[in-house]
Structure 1
Amino acid sequence: MARAGARMTLWRVIAICAVSVAAAVGAWNITLSSIDARLERSLILTLRALETEIDRFRYLPSVVGEDARIRRVIEQPEAPGAVLDANRYLAQVLGLSGADQLYLMDGQGVTLAASNWDSPASFVGHDYNFRPYFRDAIATGRGAFYAIGVTTGVPGYFLSARIGRGDERPGVVVVKIDLDPLQQAWAQAGQAVAVADADGVVFLSGNPGWLYHPLHGLDPEARGRLARSQTYPGRDPAGAAPLMQGAAQWMFDASGARLRSRTADFGEGWTVVAASPVRPALLAALIAGAAAALISVLGLALAKTQAQRRQLVALRLRQSEMLERKVAERTQALGREIEARRQTEAELRAAQEGLVHSEKMAALGRMSAAIAHEISQPLAAMEATLTAAGLGVARDPEKTATRIETARNLIRRMQRTIKHLKSFSRKDTAALARVEIGAVVASALELVAPRARAQGIKPKVVAPDGPIFAQAGRVRLEQVLVNLLLNALDAVEGQPGGAVELRLEAAPDAVRISVRDSGPGIAPEDLPRVTEPFFSTKQDGEGLGLGLAISQAILAEIGGRLEIRSTPGAGAEMVVTLARATEEEEA
């Protein structure tokens, strides 16, 4: 059974490889056919461009040779003004025709007149009888040759025509055409196009790396011919690497990349070459092969999946029932877990609220002695006042009325103290509201006033004029300020000249309340821990060590923050920062 499965797998792999190779070969051939068609079109356009550019000047040498000034120089080169007139005429024709150079040679190949007669690189007086275009013109009447100028070093295409009839002295008119614009156009268009001469040497190309390279290796005869005619002075085509190796349809660029090429013959004995990288064909073959392999694998996998699916249906049905049962059990467990978390969160919130309320009660306990004194003193004064009023009700009714009013004021004082205690001790809601900070500060100061008077301290209050509003909870903010004021009073207790200052400042987007004392300050090692629960620096064990921790938690709930600054020996400062109510809210 295992051996049969292995054979089946092997045949499947062979089939996939065969399909992949067939797809790759097909894509390669199709892409090459597309490249060949594009190269054929490029060749047609290149041939037409060459023909058009050359035909513009093909008849110019013959036409120029018909002018009387040119014939006069041939017949009478020593005649006064003959050469000058010919030079000027050639320069004028050159300007009108757009050619590169125009010049006249005698029957021995010596230049008699030229369009560049007045330039340092003048052709006048130079012997060009070694050039094929001169020899062909003398022999057949016309000549054409592409070469690098031996005088100017500038390449160009030379068209020549013999002048003179019968017994007249012969001469040759030559026009030099600049084909570099064609080359620049090919380079700008990114066309890998080249034109090679009859010996196979590339002299025009859109790829600068191909210039003066032979298409194939040069034989000794071609090398001697190029040397005798000085076709490419300063260049060494014989020593350059051939561009085509092996089959004529393949070339190589300067980087060694393989190119697909097509060639066509031009009427001047030239060969026009158009080439294109085969990378697109290679890429298409790779993609087609990979796609075919992938599709084959997917097809086989799909077939196998279909076969296995029937086997899995029954198993999935059983697994579905088991999964549904497990999902139901898990859903019930999650429901119980969610309910337990909700209950735990409710208990935590209740414990937090209880802890906050306990801290309030602890603060009231710290103030209990001063509060008892605050209430007992008015009670004793009221008793004495009422006793004196009872004794003097008959003798002096006016004094009695004054004493009764004094007793009422004492009662109001006790009621006010009790009202503040009731307000402070009640539980606050969690909702934020627009709160007038000055009123909260005043309430907190009245709550700690008995404790402050018991210590002989009157807190100093610095606040701007006018109401200041912030987003907070009134009772919770009041608890924070009471805790900070009690801590400040604890810090200066027993110190001569102790002072506590509460400062209220308003910024455009924030409200700051700072409570500063002149106590001994907080040790640097204790400063990071003062907001930790149950941490206290009091030596007598008074308090739970929760005041600052709860104050920080309350401020976090109402969107504020607490900053603690201290310098040992110079007191401590607690700064509360709240978000100020917007102008729309204040309005």
Structure 2
Amino acid sequence: MRMRPMILPAFVALIAAALAWFVADRWITATVREGLDQSLLLTSRAVEAEIDRFAALPDVAGEDARIRAALIDPRALEDANRYLETVATHAGASELFLINAEGRTIAASNWNRPGSFVGEFYSFRPYFREAIETGRGQFYAIGVTTGVPGYFLSTRVQVGTMAGVLVVKVDLRGLQETWRSAGADVALVDGDGVVFLSGREDWLYRPLTPLSDKVIQRLAETRAYDGVPLGAVAPLLRQAPTGDDAQGDGWTARIASVSGTDWSLMAAHPTAAITTVAAGWALAASLLTLAVAGLFKAWDQRRQIIALKLSQSERLEAMVTARTADLAREVEARKQAETDLRAAQEHLIHAEKMAALGRMSTAIVHEISQPLAAMEATLTAAEMTLAASESQTAPRLATAKGLIRRMQRTIKHLKSFGRKEPGALDLIDLRSVISSAIELVTPRARAVGVVPEFISPSQAVSVIAGPVRMEQVVVNLILNALDAVEGRGDGRVSVTVESDGVEARLVVRDTGVGISPDILPRVAEPFFSTKSAAEGLGIGLSICKAILAEFGGKLSVASALGRGTTVTVVLPAAALAQAAAE
């Protein structure tokens, strides 16, 4: 029983240690890989720079007349020897020598020193065969004459029918000494997977993975690592590299290729350091978890003691708080009830005002419609009896008649808005409705100077609607479009209609000034208008929307400032409407 409270903290500490180990191992491994990649990048550039110093030397030296003469005239060999000696000294190359077509060295920079290459046969070396066949060759090997390893770069020299190979031997052991002095676990690996340069002595001339008998035989024939028993040497890696990663005995490594060669560059880091740091993180996490658990336990005990002391006062405070909350809720409920009551009263007052406004507008419309009709008839009679000499009076009468007709049109809108007349629904063709509407707005279109363009389909576009009210909708939309393009020299109004068998779509477009985005959602509200009070009441679109709703349709408006407005009317196609009616 006493040990049971310690089981949970110990278990949590164990889990925290495992998570810390996992996170630390992943993070440190990623950091090590990043460091190894940077080391590989810098080292590969150093190796490439060292090789590039001598890459052009065989080509340059092979163009000298003394070298070419030595291939065809034995008397020129002394001059060639001295020339190669001078060039190798100034260039810093290890050795520079010329081989004839049979593979025998006929001139060398070390012609007058012990271990001279002169007279030696190197036809078995790959750099000789590659240069004879392709013009260039390269090969790293231990020197069979001097026993000194080096990188051999060769170029074919052609003089008529005589051919030879000029070879420069580059000593790369300076890189190896630099790695060792810096303590870097870096190695250069040839195309067969054999380490030939390394910052670690125990890695030198060891394969990364076991070599096949064919590879061992080929290396023996070329004498690349003369005197090294490659078949008996243990490989460095536990298994074949996975991509750019490799694992050895106590170290992890990254591998990268060296540009211009078939070599690989390997940089390693001890895994013991990664394990040590990860273990430290795990230990710290477990100790921190136990410390937090101890603090929590002490705090919990103190909390229990305080709770025992304050339990009575807390109960009293809870009762007071509960009663206070009840009173606050009652007060809030009364405030909300008063607010709702005031809002209801305001809604009733507003509804009564709107009802009175409707009754008053109906009465006003009834009272002024007849006088307006009489005035129009009187003006028409006056026009008919007007003398020909009264040239200034006729335009004035026409203007007065136009104003009276505008007033009559407004009265008609008010009647439609204030009274819902169901009317009969018929099967109609939208094309004929649009044509009739365009004829009705022709006088207005002439005044504006724009002829509405009707793009009529070849087949009928049938819907179920009231023909007169549908014509009223189209007339209203076209008049709005004409108002929008009035005064614009490039103004255009177009009407299109189409049907896909499911919906009939009527679109009225204009190239007017457009509608601002902040007022676009309000254009269909009753009594909202962007025109002046003398030009309209702002109920045209709301009437259109109400009419279309009776037909099962809808209306939408899209507009952009400076580019015009598009009004789209969507109605159910006749087939679907008939099915719904049935």
| TM-score in terms of structure 2 length | 0.51
Q: Residue 161 in 1 paired to residue 155 in 2?
A: yes
User: After TM superposition, what 4+ stretches of structure 1 lie above 6 angstroms from structure 2?
Assistant: 311-314
Q: Is the 8 A contact 2:194 2:206 kept in 1?
A: yes
Match of 1:106 in 2: 100
Aligned with 2:65 (options 65, 68, 84): 68
Match of 2:253 in 1: 261
Match of 1:288 in 2: 281
Aligned with 1:36 (options 28, 33, 38): 33
Q: Is the 8 A contact 1:147 1:232 kept in 2?
A: yes
Q: Distance in 2 between matches of 1:74 and 1:307?
A: 98
Q: Distance in 2 between matches of 1:30 and 1:164?
A: 58
Match of 1:186 in 2: 179
Q: Is the 8 A contact 1:88 1:115 kept in 2?
A: yes
Q: SS state of the match for residue 56, structure 1?
A: helix
Q: Distance in 1 between matches of 2:239 and 2:67?
A: 51
Residues 37-436 of structure 1 correspond to what in structure 2 (within 5 A)? 37-77=34-74, 80=75, 82-164=76-158, 167-246=160-239, 248=241, 249-252=245-248, 256=249, 258-266=250-258, 267-309=260-302
Q: Distance in 2 between matches of 1:72 and 1:168?
A: 13
Give the drift of 1:117. Answer: 0.5
Q: SS state of the match for residue 54, structure 2?
A: coil
**Residue 91 of structure 1 aligns to which amino acid in structure 2?**
E
Q: What is the aligned residue count?
A: 304
Match of 1:400 in 2: none
**Residue 18 of structure 1 aligns to which amino acid in structure 2?**
I
Q: SS state of the match for residue 130, structure 1?
A: coil
**Residue 207 of structure 1 aligns to which amino acid in structure 2?**
R
Give the drift of 1:9. Answer: 3.6
Give the drift of 1:6. Answer: 5.3
Q: Distance in 2 between matches of 1:182 and 1:171?
A: 31
Q: Distance in 1 between matches of 2:287 and 2:3?
A: 21
Aligned with 1:18 (options 12, 15, 19): 15
**Residue 124 of structure 1 aligns to which amino acid in structure 2?**
V
Q: Distance in 2 between matches of 1:49 and 1:309?
A: 66
**Residue 24 of structure 2 aligns to which amino acid in structure 1?**
A
Q: Is the 8 A contact 2:209 2:240 kept in 1?
A: no
Partner deviation per Cα, 1:255-303 (whole Å, 9 max, x = no partner): x4x1110001122101110111122221121111111100110111111
Give the drift of 1:52. Answer: 0.4
Q: Distance in 1 between matches of 2:291 and 2:123?
A: 75
Q: Distance in 1 between matches of 2:217 and 2:239?
A: 25
Relative to structure 1, the CA distance from residue 240 to residue 169 in structure 2 (aligned partners, 3 Å threshold; closer, same or farther) is same
Q: SS state of the match for residue 118, structure 1?
A: coil
User: What runs of 5+ residues in structure 1 fail to find an aligned partner?
Assistant: 315-587
- When the two chains are superposed, the root-mean-square deviation of aligned CA atoms in Å is 1.9
Q: Distance in 2 between matches of 1:301 and 1:48?
A: 55
Q: Distance in 1 between matches of 2:52 and 2:272?
A: 37
Q: Distance in 1 between matches of 2:207 and 2:182?
A: 23
**Identity among equivalent pairs (%):** 45
Give the drift of 1:309. Answer: 3.7
Q: Distance in 1 between matches of 2:67 and 2:240?
A: 51
Q: Distance in 2 between matches of 1:87 and 1:19?
A: 74
Q: Is the 8 A contact 1:102 1:176 kept in 2?
A: yes
Q: Is the 8 A contact 2:209 2:239 kept in 1?
A: no
Q: Is the 8 A contact 1:31 1:280 kept in 2?
A: no
**Residue 12 of structure 2 aligns to which amino acid in structure 1?**
A
Residues 384-533 of structure 1 correspond to what in structure 2 (within 5 A)? none
Q: Distance in 1 between matches of 2:42 and 2:193?
A: 21
Q: Distance in 2 between matches of 1:54 and 1:63?
A: 15
Q: Is the 8 A contact 1:32 1:278 kept in 2?
A: no
Q: Is the 8 A contact 2:10 2:290 kept in 1?
A: no
Give the drift of 1:310. Answer: 5.6
Relative to structure 1, the CA distance from residue 26 to residue 203 in structure 2 (aligned partners, 3 Å threshold; closer, same or farther) is same
Partner deviation per Cα, 1:121-176 (whole Å, 9 max, x = no partner): 010000000000000000100000000000000000000000105x4200000000
Q: Is the 8 A contact 2:108 2:117 kept in 1?
A: yes
Give the drift of 1:234. Answer: 1.5
Q: SS state of the match for residue 10, structure 1?
A: helix
Q: Distance in 2 between matches of 1:29 and 1:130?
A: 49
**Residue 133 of structure 2 aligns to which amino acid in structure 1?**
A
Give the drift of 1:11. Answer: 3.2
Q: Distance in 2 between matches of 1:66 and 1:148?
A: 28
Partner deviation per Cα, 1:479-513 (whole Å, 9 max, x = no partner): xxxxxxxxxxxxxxxxxxxxxxxxxxxxxxxxxxx
Q: Is the 8 A contact 1:132 1:229 kept in 2?
A: yes
Give the drift of 1:209. Answer: 1.1
Relative to structure 1, the CA distance from residue 40 to residue 122 in structure 2 (aligned partners, 3 Å threshold; closer, same or farther) is same
